[in-house]
Chains A and B, each alone.
Chain A
């Protein structure tokens, strides 16, 4: 009995926490399946009296979903891939290489995180405007090609890997590039997979940046499309919840795919050393 309790208690906590987190989503999905007449009313109900897919049909008809989806994929996947490469390279230098001025340079990376985007947005916009990069994928993606957060995060993981790895590799005449690509990166898979998801999610959901940088509807991403259902005075709750449900689905799938990488890493491969 006691054993059962000790085994079961962690699961109980996990399940309770999961329920607390899932509940609002359950509400959201069920709301997207309600007819508009049932969404705002008293007494409130969780389940719809009449299930309908009206909101989903509606969203398909009212915004160019495929274009938005395509742009979101190009933007967020592109940024994620490039940024992972650049971030991990810089993080590798900060964590595993010795060079003069390293600590100062690293503090500079932290500084980049501390200025709120609200004040750098306009100077940046003006600069891209001068360059003629507004409304292009170039303008949308290049400024995001690296990310101080990503550098910081990966550095913290790389630094935790045993130093002996480098020493033995270097002793074998291994180049720095090979050390980076062949030893450190594979060992940091869980961290890289996490960062990939963060980048993906951050750019997928970002509303402000794509809206500031693009001006034509051919360039817009999904959040900008969903914002069209939030009017100045009226929010169309049914269509909006349906849209959100569709738009987070790819991220959930991406997350589940990345799971396989989350569990690998030094915990297993490290033993082989």
Chain B
């Protein structure tokens, strides 16, 4: 705050440059992102059936109904479950693999390409492939696991196991995504830092703790925030793998938004849900930024 005021006294070269650098993206974002967002905010106070032209103002009615909508709260629970299931595991796995990749002298590019394969494949296809592999009756994986005496539960059709199955596939798909970002971060760490640490007699773990982690802070912050935001918005996985079932045990917030907005055509109600979701994600992100002390830009 204080620094802000101080800066105002010097409308320097940098401020002018910043305007030009920001202009193209800001114009695009304002037109195609912020305006629709503002529009959806306005809609969340209206009754808007996609089928009708009228958009009657109904105040906080959508939000009031939302508070008592059991199915919405169920979807909130499922979304939180999904987030806690995927984010930590996925980040730890991708960081581990990224470190190994970074240390590996040979075959780095091959491994990276392999890990990235699921990322470039659409979820519609992935769900079909995993459906064939995990099918409790005719799945290839199930069949061979059964043969060696391991009994796979009826994953996607079980009210208990459907969510873990979705989480597992999501991790499988997203590890490569985080890995590529983290690797880019790792490779941005100057070799000289490691050499200096080595000269100081630091072992591998100490080097990780005192060189890698601090240098990777900005990248890690990005990965964590993006993972949390996107897992709060999880839709594709659920849509193609389970359609929110069985018995709504995998129905997430955005899936429910889709159901209300596009299947039942109640866009006003869907928008109010989106805004509630937004406020929650916003708060979480702010907390994360604070935890990582984002304001300090070194």
Contact = CB atoms under 8 A, between A and B. Distances in A.
Contacts of A259: 109, 112-113
Interface string A223-239: 10001001000010100
Given A89-B21, A116-B277, A99 B14 contact: yes
Interface in B1-38: 4, 7-8, 12-15, 17-19, 21-22, 24-26, 28-29, 31-37
Interface stretch (B62-70, B118-126, B159-167): B118-126
Majority SS at the chain A contact face: helix
Given A119-B274, A248-B121, A266-B188, A160 B36 contact: no
Nearest to B130: A24
Contact of B34 (A112, A127, A156, A227): A112
B184 A271 contact: no
Nearest to A105: B22
Interface in A198-227: 198, 201, 204-205, 207, 223, 227
Majority SS at the chain B contact face: helix
Interface in B168-225: 172, 175-177, 180-181, 183-185, 187-192, 215, 217-219, 221-222, 225
A81 interface: no
Interface in B218-240: 218-219, 221-222, 225-226, 229, 233, 235
The size bracket of the interface on A is 35 or more
A180 B21 contact: yes
Contact of A149 (B8, B122, B226): B226
Which residue of B25, B125, B257 has the most chain A CB atoms within 10 A of its CB atom?
B25
B74 interface: no
Interface of B: 4, 7-8, 12-15, 17-19, 21-22, 24-26, 28-29, 31-37, 39-40, 43, 50, 96-97, 100-101, 103-104, 107-109, 111-122, 124-126, 128-130, 132-133, 137-140, 143, 172, 175-177, 180-181, 183-185, 187-192, 215, 217-219, 221-222, 225-226, 229, 233, 235, 254, 257-258, 261-262, 267, 270-271, 274-275, 277-278, 281-282, 285, 295, 297-298
A224 B69 CA distance: 35
B7 A98 contact: yes
Interface in A111-137: 111-116, 118-124, 127
Contacts of B133: 23-24, 27
Nearest to A264: B187
Contacts of B14: 97-99, 176
18 contacts: A22-B114, A90-B22, A97-B18, A99-B18, A111-B282, A127-B36, A151-B25, A152-B222, A157-B185, A157-B188, A190-B187, A190-B188, A237-B128, A240-B128, A259-B112, A270-B190, A270-B192, A271-B190
Given A120-B36, A157-B218, A267-B190, A17 B130 contact: no
Contacts of A177: 17
Give the 4 A-B CB pairs with smallest separation, nearest first. Answer: A120-B36, A143-B32, A176-B17, A146-B25
A90 B25 contact: yes
A146 B29 contact: yes
A119 B15 contact: no
Given A112-B29, A267-B187, A270-B190, A14 B100 contact: yes
Nearest to B116: A255
B124 A98 contact: no
Contacts of A161: 188
Contacts of A197: 116, 180
Contacts, number: 295
Contact of B122 (A28, A205, A237): A205
A176 B278 CA distance: 35
Contacts of B297: 95, 159
Contacts of B119: 201
Contact of B229 (A43, A113, A204): A113
A20 interface: yes
Given A14-B101, A153-B181, A87 B21 contact: no
Contacts of A159: 218, 297-298
B274 A98 contact: no
Nearest to A273: B190
Given A146-B29, A194-B180, A194-B184, A92 B34 contact: no
B21 A92 contact: yes
A177 to B, nearest CB: 8
A157 B175 CA distance: 20
Given A90-B25, A146-B25, A262-B183, 14 more contacts: A13-B100, A31-B132, A85-B24, A87-B25, A90-B26, A114-B281, A115-B278, A119-B270, A123-B35, A124-B36, A153-B181, A180-B21, A190-B188, A191-B181
B122 to A, nearest CB: 4
A143 B229 CA distance: 21
Nearest to B33: A112
B24 A89 contact: yes
B121 A120 contact: no
